[in-house]
Amino acid sequence: MEQIINWLANILSNASWWGLPVEPAASVIVWAVYGFILALVVAPMAMIVLTWLERKIIARIQDRIGPNRAGPFGIMQAMADAIKMLTKEDITPLGADRIPFNIGPGLAAVASILIFAVLPVAPGLIGTDLSIGIFYVVAVGAFSILGILMSGWSSNNKYALLGAFRAVSQLVSYEVPMVIALITVAVVAGSMSTLTITENQTLASGGWYIFAMPLTFLIFFLASVAEVGRSPFDLLEADSEIVAGFHVEYSGLKFGLFMISEYVHALAVAALSATLFLGGWNGPGVAQAVAASPFWGGVLGFVYYLLKMGIFIFIMMWFRGTLPRFRIDQLLDFGWKLLTPLSLVNLLVMAFIVRLFQPGNVSMGAEIPAGPLASWGGIGQTITMLVASVLLVFLTTLVVRAFARRSRARGFRAIAAIEN
Amino acid sequence: MEIYLFFLFGGIAVVGALAMVFNKNAVHSALFLLLTLVMIAGLYVLLNAQFIAVAQIMVYAGAIVVLILFVVMLLGAELGESIPRWLTLRNSVMVLLALVFLTVSGTAVYDWLYSTQPITGTVTDEVIARQGSVQLVGESLFTQFLLPFELASILLLVGIIGVVVLGGWRLVQHRQRGE
């Protein structure tokens, strides 16, 4: 990326008649191009490719063949669907509130695309390295709730409104465990910047976070899948209950924007999971390759990144192919009574372990003494965290089992009382 | 560049606030409120307070405005009172001109009073670049403003418990009667 910037800077310095300082102007243009490519090429392509992939994978899971007529392996089927979507009539219902109705889909799609601004997809390739990176992801994700709510309400349709209500109750409740899981990662990494988190996951400093914090990963991934609204958490568009939920009145490209929003958000969740827990672009040979040639090192890192993203995308499709949909009360119980308390306890335990292993330093003028186990280093910390996570999972299982037994016994008593 | 952005964000914020107050439709009012708050977050970014800006967006767009919208939609109370009668075009233009005059004269007086002292604080761009805005906010919360911070958190805790008590009270009574 540096090379591209330098090359563009050279071109622009020959045409410095516009009176802007050359170096920042060149990087601004490079990042603008990066953003345009992300928004205008990657987003629609992600939707097209992922729809095809999803239909194929779910077909295989359900012992079918899936699309296989158009092109090799039916890959042109998604193209044909996209063209069909583009040429359909754009309908605005008569009773709809026109302006929110038209802004809604765009807001949802933009919110999903904006997440990619802080994701380091390859060594040296990141939109912008904010010091508040993962906090930004949460804030931007909030806009997709708003887009759903706006479009659900302005459609002036009872099913759309029901879908919007479900969306709000679901997304707001699952945001809490997701944010707490993100805070846990930030505490362990000592930073909220996605780039620093990626760089902290080398072998020397303790390895990928999925080994240190499998429980945090589980909480984050489940809450994120719920946040995207994918199966088994797809209550906001449960077609057997409320037709299609919030986007029932949309047609043509506006419906397409919702599809883009969903698939790009799923992609962003996969990318974020890969960044936070699988070490982003870290992998065997990346450091050497970057040292030898920044460009080919970047390509290698990008390949690793895509592979890691692919794992999570596949897991999400696997969910969709196998798991039945939650009921709304089960969904909220799961979020508030299990994930939220568990993530809080997890945060406390992880913060305690981090303090034990913290090397001493001087920060903001105050001297911070080293933790008692600081000499064990990153690997020791990883192993301790792993043991703590397994213990936490075990304790949670015990607690959940006790509650389940009690409620089952209560149910039996109630039945017995009725029968007598 | 910064001054243009300031007027862009500030202008949209003011227009959004006016639209929020004078809108007939409660849902539109809530959306304009959000527009205003997001523009104010833009002003925070211009002041190098990215953390506060993102927190503002997260809290308002992610929770508060969404809940306001939720309640308004659930109650079906979208349509409120119409625009009051005293609000004519002439009156509003007069108020606007008065405000412009007040701002201009106030700025002139302010400049005349304080023209010799440049306005500086301890938190400069250089400090932010060295320590990061999150660390700065965290440090001042846990040193200089520890008492207000803890008080605010206790207040929030009391609020949460109060909501649970209010919401769960009927359930508790029901259980007591049932068993």
In chain A, which residue's Cα lies nearest the Cα of B127? A364
Number of helices (H), then strands (E), in chain A? 17, 2
pLDDT digits (tens, 9 = 90+) for B109-159: 777 766 655 555 566 666 665 556 777 777 778 888 888 889 999 999 999
- CA of A94 vs chain B CAs: smallest distance (Å): 18
A364 domain-assigned: yes
Confidence bin at A208 (pLDDT 50/70/90): confident
Determine the angle formed by the axes of helices B133-142 and B146-178, rounding to 10 degrees.
80
Q: How many residues does chain A have?
A: 420
The runs of H, that is alpha helices, within A278-376 are: 286-292, 294-322, 328-333, 340-356
Q: Are residues A27 and A157 in the same domain?
A: no
The total of other beta-carbon atoms located within 10 Å of residue A52's CB is 22
A226 domain-assigned: yes
Residue at token pair 């583009």: A86
Q: What are the distances in angstroms from CA B93 to CA A291, A402, B24, B84?
A: 65, 69, 20, 16
User: Can you give B5-56 as a three-state secondary structure string?
Assistant: HHHHHHHHHHHHHHHHHHCCEHHHHHHHHHHHHHHHHHHHHHCCCHHHHHHH
Mutate to test the interface with B, among A364, A368, A413 (most CBs of B within 10 A): A364
| CATH architecture of the domain covering B1-82 | Up-down Bundle (1.20)
Separation between Cα atoms, residue B87 and residue B21, nearest integer Å:
12
The total of other beta-carbon atoms located within 10 Å of residue B49's CB is 19
Q: Are residues A64 and A180 in the same domain?
A: no
A101 domain-assigned: no
The total of other beta-carbon atoms located within 10 Å of residue B48's CB is 17
Q: Do A132 and B69 touch (CB under 8 A)?
A: no
Q: Are residues A381 and A327 in the same domain?
A: yes
- Decide if pLDDT at B103 tops 50: yes
- Tell whether B69 is within 8 A of chain A (Cβ): yes
Q: Are residues A286 and A415 in the same domain?
A: yes
Q: Are residues A132 and A199 in the same domain?
A: yes
Please tell me whether residue A364 adopts helix, strand or coil conformation: coil
Q: Are residues A130 and A258 in the same domain?
A: yes
- CA of B103 vs chain A CAs: smallest distance (Å): 33
Percent of chain A with pLDDT over 90: 3
Domain ranges of chain B: 1-82
Confidence bin at B85 (pLDDT 50/70/90): low
Q: What are the distances in angstroms from CA A349 to CA A134, A184, A189?
A: 21, 10, 15
Instruction: Please state the φ and ψ torsions of residue A362, each to the nearest 5 degrees.
Output: -110, 120
Residue at token pair 């009172």: B81
Tokens read off for A377: 């280093």
A94 domain-assigned: no
In chain A, which residue's Cα lies nearest the Cα of B139? A364
Q: Are residues A52 and A141 in the same domain?
A: no
Q: Are A91 and A9 in contact (CB under 8 A)?
A: no
Of the listed ranges A22-26, A77-81, A320-324, A344-348, the one predicted with least confidence:
A22-26
Q: What residues have CB less than 8 Å from A241, skipping those under 6 apart? A: none
Nearest to A139 among B27, B54, B139 (CB): B54
Separation between Cα atoms, residue A60 and residue A76, nearest integer Å:
18
Q: Are residues A369 and A327 in the same domain?
A: yes
Q: Are residues A149 and A112 in the same domain?
A: yes
Q: Are residues A330 and A207 in the same domain?
A: yes
- A153 contact residues in B (CB cutoff 8 A): 27, 69, 73
- CA of A411 vs chain B CAs: smallest distance (Å): 14
Q: Do B31 and A145 touch (CB under 8 A)?
A: no
Which is higher by pLDDT, B98 or A374? B98
Mutate to test the interface with A, among B65, B69, B74 (most CBs of A within 10 A): B69
- Tell whether A100 is within 8 A of chain B (Cβ): yes
Mutate to test the interface with B, among A145, A176, A227, A332 (most CBs of B within 10 A): A145
- What pLDDT score does A418 carry? 85
- What pLDDT score does A289 carry? 76
The runs of H, that is alpha helices, within A121-157 are: 133-154
- What pLDDT score does A16 carry? 42
pLDDT digits (tens, 9 = 90+) for B5-20: 888 888 888 898 888 8
A93 domain-assigned: no
- What pLDDT score does B154 carry? 93
Residue at token pair 């990176």: A133
Please name which of A308, A324, A196, A313 lies closest in space to residue A265, comparing C-alpha atoms: A313
In chain A, which residue's Cα lies nearest the Cα of B62? A142
Q: Do A146 and B54 touch (CB under 8 A)?
A: no
Nearest to A138 among B58, B131, B134 (CB): B58
Concatenating the DSSP letter of every residue in A218-234 gives HHHHHHHHHHHT-TTSG
- What pLDDT score does A20 carry? 44
Q: Are A245 and A152 in contact (CB under 8 A)?
A: yes
Q: Do B50 and A132 touch (CB under 8 A)?
A: yes
- What pLDDT score does B157 carry? 92
Q: What is the pTM of this model?
A: 0.81
- CA of B50 vs chain A CAs: smallest distance (Å): 8
Q: Are residues A8 and A141 in the same domain?
A: no
- CA of B98 vs chain A CAs: smallest distance (Å): 33
Residue at token pair 């194929």: A56
The average confidence (pLDDT) of chain B is: 78
- What pLDDT score does A243 carry? 73
Please name which of B37, B32, B131, B24 lies closest in space to residue B79, comparing C-alpha atoms: B24
- A149 contact residues in B (CB cutoff 8 A): 66, 69-70, 73
A99 domain-assigned: no
Instruction: Please state the φ and ψ torsions of residue B137, each to the nearest 5 degrees.
Output: -60, -45
- Tell whether A114 is within 8 A of chain B (Cβ): no
A384 domain-assigned: yes
Strands A361-363 and A366-368: antiparallel
- What pLDDT score does A17 carry? 41
Q: Are A216 and A184 in contact (CB under 8 A)?
A: yes
Q: How many CB pairs under 8 A join A and B?
A: 70
Q: Please tell me the total count of domains within chain A.
A: 2
At CA A234, angle to CA A230 and CA A235, rounded to 5? Answer: 160
- What pLDDT score does B119 carry? 52
- What pLDDT score does B155 carry? 94
Q: Which domain range does residue A303 map to?
A: 106-419
List of long-range contacts for A202-207, beta carbons under 8 Å, 24+ apart: A202/A279, A202/A282, A202/A287, A204/A378, A205/A378, A206/A377, A206/A378, A206/A379, A206/A381, A206/A382, A207/A279, A207/A378, A207/A379, A207/A382
Q: Are residues A127 and A224 in the same domain?
A: yes
Element of type H or E holding A367: strand A366-368
In chain B, which residue's Cα lies nearest the Cα of A99? B28
**What DSSP state is assigned to residue A366?**
E
Tell me what percent of chain A is helix, strand and coil, each rounded to the nearest 5. 75, 0, 20
- Tell whether B48 is within 8 A of chain A (Cβ): no
Residue at token pair 């699952």: A174
Q: What are the distances in angstroms from CA A189 to CA A200, A213, A261, B50, B141?
A: 7, 12, 30, 20, 21
Concatenating the DSSP letter of every residue in A33-64 gives HHHHHIIIIIHHHHHHHHHHHHHHHHHHHTT-
- Decide if pLDDT at B3 tops 60: yes
Separation between Cα atoms, residue B75 and residue B165, nearest integer Å:
23
In chain B, which residue's Cα lies nearest the Cα of A138? B58
Of the listed ranges A132-141, A238-247, A379-388, B61-70, the one predicted with least confidence:
A238-247
- Tell whether B131 is within 8 A of chain A (Cβ): yes
The total of other beta-carbon atoms located within 10 Å of residue A412's CB is 10
In chain B, which residue's Cα lies nearest the Cα of A131? B132
The neighbouring-strand residues paired with A361 are: A368
- Tell whether B40 is within 8 A of chain A (Cβ): no
